[in-house]
Amino acid sequence: MSRSVLRTSDAWYVLTDAGAVRVDTSATTTRELLADRAAVDAAASSGGPAVPVDELALVSPVTAPCRVVAQMTNYESHIRDSNMDPATVPLTFFRKSSGSISGPHADVVRPAHVRFLDYEVEIGLVIGRDLPVGTDVTAGDLTDLVAGLVITNDVSARDVQLPKTQFYEAKSYPTFTPVGPVLLLLDAGEFARFGELRLRLWVNGSVRQDSTVADMVYQPLEALQALARFQQLQAGDLLLTGTPGGTALKAPARPIELIGALLPPHVKWKTFFRRQAANPDYLQDGDVMELAIGTPDGALDLGRQRTVVRWAR
């Protein structure tokens, strides 16, 4: 069965009916913990002393440094929000700095020069074994290649991302990848339920994103097959699998987009962000983001992430 792993600054825990039980392991990184799965299973069945999860100061269960790779526009609803055709959107990736990883309850800090801060709930795949370039990935490899799942929020500075076509910077500021609270380690066969997962994100209690994996265009097998052609991955690395529609950013109506294409770039983007300034969905100082991912029956539950937006002064 799956194991829900939690992490503090000095220990790993596994979630049981009685609470969080400390894992007896010397592992300090996610990679090392994955190699010590037996210790996680032993703690879960030990009946050892448990503490309430609320008493733990949780940090990201994915440790840095690691590779953070993300899929672009991978849900039909998000693709349509971007005025694109899901039938013609290719499978593409970008990288994020692992320095952007933060805990599931840590503040998300907007840099002073950023005006348009956005959210993206995503399922994160935690890689379970090394994947050298040139590896032939088959469906039977998923059990070993995907050790577990985590909630991730791909926080984005849209006014950096769009005019500069600079995904790496716009999505890599410190605290721009909250992860957790749970690293859900999967047993053989449980990945078959991936398609049942539901992703939700609220801002100040209002639902902004609510979708299921059925909306996803390129599934994890296709993503890993494509990555294996050019990108080495190692155990403990993180793959973000895209976000559904409902982000603050949405493409303008098609006629406006066509007119904008005729303008010089600096004029186009100045006009675009002038219109975006009237959009109340961008994140503001003090906004509370909550994210949840799981199957309807709760058998696979990645927990609930809660972060507060703070503006750098």
Query: 219 and 300 share a domain?
Result: yes
Last residue of a domain, one of 57, 78, 102: 57
Q: pLDDT tens string for the chain (313 positions)?
A: 899 999 999 999 999 999 999 999 999 999 999 999 999 999 999 988 999 999 999 999 999 999 999 999 999 999 998 888 999 999 999 999 999 999 999 999 999 999 999 999 999 999 999 999 999 999 999 999 999 999 999 999 999 998 888 899 999 999 999 999 999 999 988 999 999 999 999 999 999 999 999 999 999 999 999 999 999 999 999 999 999 999 999 875 443 443 344 445 666 677 788 888 889 999 999 999 999 999 999 999 999 999 999 999 7
Query: 164 and 244 share a domain?
Result: yes
Determine the number of helices (DSSP H) and then strands (DSSP E) in the chain: 9, 19
pTM for the predicted model, two decimal places: 0.95
Query: 50 and 76 share a domain?
Result: no
Asked if residues 180 and 56 have their Cβ atoms less than 8 Å apart, the reply is: no
DSSP 291-309: EEEE-TTSSSEEEEEEEEE
Compute the distance between CA of residue 305 and CA of residue 241 in angstroms, rounded to an integer. 17
Query: 99 and 14 share a domain?
Result: no
Compute the distance between CA of residue 63 and CA of residue 180 in angstroms, rounded to an integer. 11
Compute the distance between CA of residue 310 and CA of residue 55 in angstroms, rounded to an integer. 24
Query: 17 and 134 share a domain?
Result: no
Residues spanned by the domain of 81: 62-311
CATH classification at residue 72:
3.90.850.10
The pLDDT tens digits for 202-214 are: 999 999 999 999 9
Query: 203 and 271 share a domain?
Result: yes
Query: 44 and 149 share a domain?
Result: no
Q: Which two tokens stand for residue 193?
A: 């339920």
Query: 145 and 286 share a domain?
Result: yes
The candidate with the shortest Cα–Cα distance to 240, out of 76, 128, 94, is: 94
Query: 193 and 254 share a domain?
Result: yes
- Structural domain tally of the chain? 2
Q: Is the dihedral of CA 254, 259, 262, 265 positive or negative?
A: negative
Query: 47 and 172 share a domain?
Result: no
